[in-house]
Homo-oligomer: A and B are copies of this chain.
Amino acid sequence: LADNQQRYETIVKTLQQHQHKLTPQRLAIVRILAASVGHPTADAVYSQLKKDFPTMSLATVYRNIQLIKSLGEVLELGFADGSNRYDGNKPYPHPHLVCTLCAKITDPDLESLEKMKAELASETGYEVLTHRLDFFGICPDCQAETRGD
């Protein structure tokens, strides 16, 4: 999608503005994060890159993800089972819908969330800064496989 290309350019520009060097490895990592197809894990990013960079180190992936996260250009999704996934396409907090069978992650629209956040703030006196909302369930495809096949 053209959206991915735009995200790629935005992240690269941010890196440059903060005087970070644009190495081939770094740019390749940014390209994958900008797309964030399937909300990849660090290891998934690493696996994709080993084809083009056989000597690529997993440590480099982690270091760059941390760097880009510190610039606010990637969202880290840590799950209860300890797995981390990354979204560089929508780097701001947003709800996720996770299929517990095929592990697919999609981004539903839930405009009522902001309302809920405001309501919560006025009720509790908290200054609400951010949030995390995940729904877990079975996607239509996996429901079909379970029934029919």
Residues in B with CB closer than 8 Å to A110 are 116, 119-120
Which residues of A, 39-89, contact B by the 8 Å Cβ criterion?
76-82, 84
Known: A76-B80, A78-B82. A126 touches B112 (CB 8 A): no
Contact of A134 among B125, B131, B135, B143 (CB under 8 A): B131
Known: A78-B80, A106-B124. A129 touches B100 (CB 8 A): yes
A126 adjacent to B137 (CB under 8 Å): yes
Task: Please report the C-alpha to C-alpha distance between residue A146 and residue B76 in the assembled complex, in whole angstroms.
Answer: 28
B138 adjacent to A127 (CB under 8 Å): yes
B132 adjacent to A137 (CB under 8 Å): no
Contacts A125-B140, A125-B143, A126-B137 known; 12 new A-B pairs at CB < 8 A: A77-B80, A80-B132, A97-B126, A108-B123, A116-B116, A124-B139, A127-B138, A129-B136, A129-B138, A131-B133, A131-B134, A131-B136
Interface residues, chain A, with chain B CB atoms under 8 Å away: 76-82, 84, 97, 99-100, 106, 108, 110, 112-113, 116-117, 119-121, 123-140, 143
